[in-house]
Amino acid sequence: MSDSLLKWANDPRTAGVVKSLGLPAPVRLARSKGGYVAQPLTGQNFLLGGSAAGHASDVVRSLLQAAGANVLDSLPPVSAAESEDKGKGGAASPSTGDAFKLHGVVLDATGVRTPDDYRLLYDVFHPLMRRLAKNARVVVIGGLPESLADPVAAAAARGLEGFTRSLAKEIGKRGANANLLYLERGAEDRLDAPLRFFCGARCTFVDGQAARVTRLAAAPAEVPLEQVLKGKVALVTGAARGIGAATAERLAEDGAHVVCLDIPADRDGLYDTATRVGGTPFAADISDPATPGRLVDFLRQKFGGVDVVVHNAGITRDKTLANMKEHLWDLVIAINFRAITAVDQALLAGGVLRSGGRIVCLSSMGGVAGNFGQTNYAATKAALIGYVAAQAPLLAAQGGTINAVAPGFIETRMTAAMPLVPRELGRRMSSLSQGGQPRDVAELITFLASPGAYGLTGNTIRVCGQSLLGA
Ligand code: NAD
């Protein structure tokens, strides 16, 4: 469903009216087309900040440069063109091509251990806040709090989350976002793919998040930069439409052969998606107790295994608990929770998930924050958060990872069916003042499914434009 306010706010003929009415003016978000490229940050100015006590700066500098970025240690003085540009209403006005644009900032805050060290945050960010371009990216890298023995050091690292989330809220009106990577000591070599993702256009709707980069999962033999899923087989459930269809497309763009699963009643949509992505359709109800076994046999016989599993199929059956019929409760638990664990158990028991396998579960903002009328749905989506955290260590020795993504308001048939007022509130109550696209979720899933994401496992990452609901 199209977002009229987004159109009006970005049309010079109507932008003034939007402003004078005091309505939110969402920025048109930058998005990438096609699959991964070797240098996604080409031509972009990134400031790299940090203190001498940090341990990530050297690695980050060389990774950003390898990704094509122009890495700066300090900001150039404000030029006349930049002043003029700002006078016209924004650091990234396309009208003055020669004005300096700051496309991103990476702060190595791994040396932050004490309250005094927080001065680094002010000293780095205060001077640049008015110079960030539209759609800029901020990535803060902090120490992993649970690995720090000193309580004050652990507290200082954890506080970076509050800083980053607040910063994200301040820069969201420019379409810019900020995220935090908690980095385990010794996992610096695992930053390449996460930096490419969080510094690039593909994380346009992932905002105000904290993800852990750890040494838990064994490293893959090879980490390609382009066609990152070439030769891999991916299973996407619920692929007939919405986020599942976008995910199948996105995985195929990076070379995966996608097995698209959906219910027989959605056969038309399922075959459309499978044909479009050059994949294989598999019609089945994921909650049918016979499905996991059928699926394992099919994947083994046809492909010899599977590399990526995206548990996307999910339903809502909303009612207050007082009004909820027993069968609606049971149906949501069966599809959104039991079916996922049953498929994984069958894949693992049958040795069908290949080493270095990637599992991604679709949780939801409702699972993080809870939602009125969604006790059944939120219970299942929160269960998946616990599931990925508990399953991660069990897959790690074989180089397997498992993560959850928690979408916020995404423009799909599910949200188009909402009444006007909750739909508008869902769209606007976020730092970016707009809904996300299915492709935005598919980008996060594709990143987590890629070989380069071996440093991330057990995480739940929201893709919600930093919705004001929940943590
Ligand atoms: P959608 O309703 O557009 O698509 C879901 C797909 O899953 C459909 O094609 C449906 O046929 C399929 N499906 C349902 N039950 C199935 C079953 N038993 N077996 C096989 N396939 C089945 O939903 P969407 O908006 O694309 O959401 C996809 C996932 O993302 C869901 O898990 C949903 O809970 C989650 N999510 C979506 C949003 C959003 O804003 N759209 C927000 C948070 C979480």
Domains annotated for the chain, with CATH where assigned, are 1-30 (no CATH), 33-213 (3.40.50.720), 233-463 (3.40.50.720)
Residue type, 154: A
**pLDDT computed for residue 91 by the predictor:** 47
Q: How confident is the model at residue 453 (pLDDT cuts 50, 70, 90)?
A: very high
Task: Decide: helix, strand or coil at residue 320.
Answer: coil
How large is the average pLDDT for residues 54-61? 98
Atom of ligand 1 nearest to the CA of 242: 26
Nearest-CA residue for atom 29 of ligand 1: 312
Token duo for residue 101 = 């644009």
Residues 352-377: pLDDT tens digits?
Answer: 999 999 999 999 999 999 989 999 99
Closest among 248, 282, 290, 247 to 266, alpha carbons compared: 282
**pLDDT computed for residue 75 by the predictor:** 94
**pLDDT computed for residue 94 by the predictor:** 40
Report the mean per-residue pLDDT for the chain: 94
Q: How confident is the model at residue 1 (pLDDT cuts 50, 70, 90)?
A: low
Closest among 149, 50, 130 to 90, alpha carbons compared: 130
440, containing H or E segment: helix 438-449
**pLDDT computed for residue 420 by the predictor:** 87
**pLDDT computed for residue 88 by the predictor:** 56
> How far is the centre of ligand 1, averaged over its atoms, from the C-alpha of 239 (Å)?
8
> How far is the centre of ligand 1, averaged over its atoms, from the C-alpha of 242 (Å)?
7
Q: How confident is the model at residue 414 (pLDDT cuts 50, 70, 90)?
A: confident
Q: What whole-number distance in Å separates Cα of residue 367 and Cα of residue 355?
A: 29
104, containing H or E segment: strand 102-109
**pLDDT computed for residue 275 by the predictor:** 98
Q: What whole-number distance in Å separates Cα of residue 163 and Cα of residue 121?
A: 8
Q: Is the pLDDT of residue 62 over 80?
A: yes
Q: What whole-number distance in Å separates Cα of residue 253 and Cα of residue 343?
A: 25
DSSP string, 2-46: --HHHHHHTSTTTHHHHHHTT---PPPPP---SS--S-TTTT-EE
> How far is the centre of ligand 1, averaged over its atoms, from the C-alpha of 176 (Å)?
28
**pLDDT computed for residue 85 by the predictor:** 62
Atom of ligand 1 nearest to the CA of 441: 30
Q: How confident is the model at residue 95 (pLDDT cuts 50, 70, 90)?
A: very low
Atom of ligand 1 nearest to the CA of 241: 9
Q: Is the pLDDT of residue 163 over 50?
A: yes
**pLDDT computed for residue 25 by the predictor:** 82
How large is the average pLDDT for residues 406-424? 87
Q: Is the pLDDT of residue 344 over 80?
A: yes
CA distances in angstroms from 437 to 170, 200, 206, 223, listed in the order given: 22, 17, 11, 28
**pLDDT computed for residue 92 by the predictor:** 42
**pLDDT computed for residue 9 by the predictor:** 81
> How far is the centre of ligand 1, averaged over its atoms, from the C-alpha of 62 (Å)?
40
How large is the average pLDDT for residues 43-69? 97
For a mutational test of ligand 1's pocket, the pick from 295, 311, 414, 429, i.e. the residue with the most ligand atoms closer than 8 A to its C-beta, is 414
> How far is the centre of ligand 1, averaged over its atoms, from the C-alpha of 436 (Å)?
15
Nearest-CA residue for atom 37 of ligand 1: 407
Q: How confident is the model at residue 96 (pLDDT cuts 50, 70, 90)?
A: very low
For a mutational test of ligand 1's pocket, the pick from 312, 338, 340, i.e. the residue with the most ligand atoms closer than 8 A to its C-beta, is 312
Nearest-CA residue for atom 41 of ligand 1: 410
Catalytic residue among 36, 182, 377, 387: 377
How large is the average pLDDT for residues 307-332? 97
Four-CA torsion 294, 300, 305, 306, nearest 10 degrees: -30
Q: What whole-number distance in Å separates Cα of residue 53 and Cα of residue 74?
A: 18
DSSP code of residue 239: T
Q: Is the pLDDT of residue 170 over 80?
A: yes
How large is the average pLDDT for residues 118-144? 97
Closest among 218, 213, 219, 204 to 168, alpha carbons compared: 204
DSSP string, 45-100: EEEEEE-TT-SSHHHHHHHHHHTT-EEESSPPPPPHHHHHHHHTT-TT-TT-TTS-
Residues 204-221: pLDDT tens digits?
Answer: 999 999 999 999 999 999
Q: What whole-number distance in Å separates Cα of residue 34 and Cα of residue 143?
A: 34
Task: Give me the numbers of helices (H) and strands (E) for the chain, helices first please.
Answer: 17, 13
> How far is the centre of ligand 1, averaged over its atoms, from the C-alpha of 20 (Å)?
38
Atom of ligand 1 nearest to the CA of 313: 7
Tell me whether residue 377 is one of the annotated catalytic residues: yes
> How far is the centre of ligand 1, averaged over its atoms, from the C-alpha of 250 (Å)?
17
For a mutational test of ligand 1's pocket, the pick from 412, 425, 460, i.e. the residue with the most ligand atoms closer than 8 A to its C-beta, is 412
Residues 227-245: pLDDT tens digits?
Answer: 999 999 999 999 999 999 9
For a mutational test of ligand 1's pocket, the pick from 262, 268, 318, i.e. the residue with the most ligand atoms closer than 8 A to its C-beta, is 262
Q: Which residues line ligand 1 (CB under 6 A)?
A: 237-238, 240-244, 261-263, 266, 285-287, 312-315, 335, 362, 364-365, 407, 409-410, 412-415
**pLDDT computed for residue 424 by the predictor:** 87
Nearest-CA residue for atom 44 of ligand 1: 364
